[in-house]
Chains A and B, each alone.
Chain A
Amino acid sequence: MEKLLEVKGLKTHFFTSGGVVKAVDGISYDVAPGETVAVVGESGCGKSVGAMSILRLIPDPPGKNMGGEILFQGRDLLELSDAEMRDIRGRDIGMIFQEPMTSLNPVLSIGRQLTETVEHHLKVSRKQAMERAIELLGLVGISEPERRLKQYPHHLSGGMRQRVMIAMSLACEPKLIIADEPTTALDVTIQAQILELMKNLTRELGVAMIIITHNLGVVARYADRVNVMYAGRIVESGTAEEIYHNPKHPYTLALLRSVPRMDQPRGAKLEPVDGQPPDLTKLDGGCAFRPRCRFATESCAQAQPVLEEVAPAHISACFEKDRVGLTAGVTA
């Protein structure tokens, strides 16, 4: 199948007074049209930076692209001029951010924030843009859209605001939506509603989605494929089912074990991932997960493991992936 997006060896580093933070250090993955790809990892593992780098939204300085390619429909986004990039943002690639409370402009009406994208990219009149905005609000399940258009973000609840963000990202019928932890800031009940909405809309409209999350429940239910990130790299990648039932990286395994499950006995203790994520300015040549890994051996300190195929469409970067697989089989 033809790829919609191909990220090849993308590197985004931040040059700070404390040293160079290699937030994204050579990640490669692709997204097919209509596919939902999840990027999973702890806070600070580079998953958001990786996603924002696609739209070139990382402020420079301190952030800087240090190499790689981002092919979107065959065009390398890193080679485009600012004007060409602006045409892609909002029209071909929509973005939904984590914090609906702060992602909408407090002093502009919902209508204005929705119509400006449509007016700008589709070059239509204000009236046509308004009609489109009403249609979009209906699409994301907001009642009385005409009245809502005149309201301001502070009139809406968090869930409603996130619906508006989704409507905004869909305004110009994009081919890809990047959702950066779209439900992290919401109540659990609202989270499910928003995720269902996103799933249904992307299916109906045939939009591909990259969903960034640290919630493995989200991954299991909504993603076709999963990239697990650790310390700026992808450490495991595969179909959601493979990752869930057959993890081949100790970090993935640890993440899975830290999640409460319905089939565990009452009172069973969760296993948190021990230790802290590494300081990204002080990475050595070995595996970054080594200090927290219970499978670590001498060889892990010598070299960085590369991604290798462990099953069809399932790759993992671990020297001890077979041992991990055995343990996972026993306990998962």
Chain B
Amino acid sequence: MLQYVLKRLLLMIPTILGAAFIIFFILRVVPGDVCELKLGGDGGHYDPVQVEICQKNLGIDRPVYEQFGKFVVGIFTFDYGNSMDTGKPVTHEIGLRFQLSLQIAIMATLVTIIIAIPLGTISAVYQNSWIDYIVRTVSIAGIALPSFWLGILLLLFLLNFSDWMWGIRWSPPLIYKPIWEDPYHNVSQLIWPAVATGYRYSAVATRMTRSSMLEVLREDYVRTARAKGLLEKLIINRHALKNALLPVVTVIGIEFAFLMGGLVVTEQVFNLNGLGQLLVHSVTGKDYTMTQAIVMIIVLVFVFTNFMVDILYAWLDPRIRYS
């Protein structure tokens, strides 16, 4: 097992380096830079001398390999430089939003798990019954509805429902407070985007659980478990679910990583200042350092999540653990 974990950890290094390489060079393929954009404004005319000074200050006049070297060293020392737009350290800018995005991603993933695994299992066990049809309809709706739209509906519902129930129009708080400062405030703000996105992602995971479970329920070892006279509950939970979860874990892992940077519109709807918004902002502003840093952080989350998925795999399946 230890060897397996070490191997997975070592495999993370080339993945991170490869991603860094691609991010760095693709950004620089796009013509123009932050100085031209800032100084040129909307008119497009700028003073070449000023641009040169600006480029010198930001270090983008240096040879590309030198900039790349600095960037790679920065990844491992967590020094991502200053934002080319605001001039503040990138880590500071990201730090503020990372917490929020991470929390939403974790909460949305929990919502996904709470919805997907029981519903997918029930749906498979009662295949082609009315329960199955309801679950399938609900999950198809989840795939069809964009989460930002569901978010808008949720907000409208909250306003009208609170008005109808208590006569006050209540909506989630607008200012973000970290969970350790004010847990109630924090959760009452973030639970709604988490539900909206979690429901959407649960749709894929529910269908995955269902189809994986259906496959496993036809396996010989499930028949063996039945022939042993075990309770159906035990057969599902102990014999089938553990086998059926393997592909589901992969899907949920990938979704978690995606949630870290991919919630631009949902963040907009709930007025949240998350990583997604910051990323869009930095790309349009050609803020190389910021874009690189955010994409790198998303890559790190992806790599780390994949690592966790691999560990979970080994925990679920002894064939991987002992190979």
Contact = CB atoms under 8 A, between A and B. Distances in A.
Tell whether A pairs with B: yes
Interface of A: 55, 57, 85-91, 94-95, 97, 99, 102-109, 116-117, 120-121, 152, 154-155, 165, 168
B219 A90 contact: no
A117 to B, nearest CB: 5
Contact of B229 (A86, A97, A106, A155): A86
Interface of B: 219-221, 223-231, 234, 238-239, 242-243, 316-319, 322
Given A97-B223, A103-B221, A104-B221, A116 B228 contact: yes
A117 B316 CA distance: 22
20 contacts: A87-B229, A89-B228, A90-B228, A90-B229, A91-B229, A94-B227, A95-B227, A102-B219, A103-B221, A104-B221, A105-B243, A106-B319, A107-B242, A107-B317, A116-B228, A116-B230, A117-B228, A117-B229, A121-B229, A154-B322
Nearest to A171: B228
Pick from B221, B225, B234 the residue with the most CB of A within 10 Å: B221
A165 B220 CA distance: 12
Contacts of B319: 106, 152, 154
Q: Which 3 A-B pairs have the closest CB atoms?
A: A89-B229, A90-B229, A90-B228
A152 B221 contact: no
B81 to A, nearest CB: 47
Nearest to B127: A61
B317 A90 contact: no
A257 B133 CA distance: 54
A107 B320 CA distance: 10
Contacts of A55: 227
A80 B31 CA distance: 78
Contacts of B318: 106-107, 109, 152, 154
B229 A105 contact: no
A103 B229 contact: no
A15 to B, nearest CB: 14
Contacts of A95: 224, 227
Nearest to A114: B228
Contacts of A91: 229
A272 to B, nearest CB: 29
Contact of A88 (B221, B229, B317): B229
Contacts of B228: 89-90, 116-117, 120, 168
A14 to B, nearest CB: 15
Contacts of A85: 229
A116 B233 CA distance: 13
B226 A106 contact: no
A102 B225 CA distance: 12
Pick from B231, B243, B318 the residue with the most CB of A within 10 Å: B318
A28 to B, nearest CB: 23
A148 to B, nearest CB: 14
Given A106-B317, A107-B316, A108-B238, A86 B224 contact: no
Contacts of A116: 228, 230, 234, 238
A106 B321 CA distance: 12
Nearest to A89: B229
A117 B230 CA distance: 7
Given A103-B223, A105-B221, 20 more contacts: A57-B226, A86-B229, A88-B229, A89-B227, A89-B229, A95-B227, A97-B223, A104-B224, A105-B243, A106-B317, A107-B316, A107-B317, A107-B318, A116-B234, A117-B228, A117-B230, A120-B234, A152-B319, A155-B322, A168-B224
